[in-house]
């Protein structure tokens, strides 16, 4: 028997049904484990803050780039102005391939191809969106690790212009647009996290020989200046 062609309306109905099915079966507990790939940039949960990326509390139903106080890329702002709103379908497409949805997004994540994994992550994030007042009291993700760095070092106010002057060696590996080709993004990295990490390399607590060498060349003021520069890099 010859197959009947699938009409556009029927195809759309199948896609909607498929999305609803994925939305329904998403496992929030598995999503919490999968979210470990996101915590370098995003927090979610009680007390979550903006980091390299915005926090993700209340993401469902929010227009793109509408979270006050976070410096979104121009491309994300344009997408929001054009009406992009974060629903299950749009978030699913964005997580699958961020640059396919927002071509010049700063999000360096290459995408998650497995639809079940995406459904699980979205089920987890939905727990922090449908009823924002009922967000469970839990430790938020992506907090800076404990450290014993002298508070006087953290209190140094770095000069971003001096940081820009010093940044040329950093930018031979770290992409200024926040992209990542096997090397983590440091664009928009919070100052404290940057300073703590660099001093950890300097003290050889973080085991990366190139970064240990680079950090070992820098004094406290230079590290603070670089942190100030990369924090505000657009």
The answer on 117 and 24 residing in a single domain is yes
Cβ–Cβ < 8 Å for 116, 24: no
- The SS3 assignment for 182 reads coil
Distance CA 223, CA 198 (A): 7
Please tell me the predicted confidence (pLDDT) of residue 141: 41
94-109 residue pLDDT tens: 998 888 888 778 888 8
Q: Domain of residue 201: give its range.
A: 151-231
Query: What percent of the chain lies above the pLDDT cut of 90?
Result: 32
Cβ–Cβ < 8 Å for 49, 70: no
Cβ–Cβ < 8 Å for 94, 101: yes
Measured CA distances, 82 to 64, 78, 164 (Å): 9, 6, 34
The answer on 196 and 130 residing in a single domain is no
The arithmetic mean of pLDDT across residues 175-189, rounded, is 74
Please tell me the predicted confidence (pLDDT) of residue 52: 87
The answer on 20 and 121 residing in a single domain is yes
The answer on 93 and 20 residing in a single domain is yes
- Total structural domains within the chain: 2
Is 4 part of a structural domain of the chain?
no
- The SS3 assignment for 84 reads coil
Comparing 28-37, 146-155, 160-169, the range with the smallest average pLDDT is 146-155
The arithmetic mean of pLDDT across residues 182-200, rounded, is 82
Cβ–Cβ < 8 Å for 111, 98: yes
């Amino acid at each position: 028997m010859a197959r009947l062609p699938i009409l556009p309306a029927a195809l759309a109905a199948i896609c909607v049904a498929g999305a609803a099915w994925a939305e329904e079966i998403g496992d929030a507990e598995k999503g919490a484990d999968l979210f470990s790939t996101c915590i370098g940039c995003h927090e979610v949960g009680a007390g979550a803050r903006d980091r390299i990326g915005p926090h993700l509390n209340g993401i469902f139903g929010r227009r793109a780039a509408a979270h006050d106080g976070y410096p979104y890329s121009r491309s994300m702002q344009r997408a929001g102005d054009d009406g992009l709103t974060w629903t299950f379908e749009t978030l699913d497409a964005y997580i699958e391939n961020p640059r396919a949805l927002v071509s010049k997004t700063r999000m360096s994540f290459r995408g998650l191809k497995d639809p079940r994994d995406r459904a699980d992550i979205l089920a987890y994030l939905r727990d922090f969106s449908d009823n924002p007042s009922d967000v469970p009291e839990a430790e938020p993700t992506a907090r800076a690790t404990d450290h014993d760095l002298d508070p006087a070092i953290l209190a140094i106010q770095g000069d971003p212009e001096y940081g820009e002057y010093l940044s040329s060696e950093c930018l031979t590996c770290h992409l200024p647009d926040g992209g990542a080709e096997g090397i983590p993004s440091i664009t928009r990295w919070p100052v404290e996290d940057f300073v703590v990490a660099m001093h950890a390399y300097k003290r050889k607590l973080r085991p990366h020989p190139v970064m240990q060498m680079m950090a070992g060349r820098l004094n406290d003021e230079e590290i603070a200046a670089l942190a100030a520069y990369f924090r505000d890099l657009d």
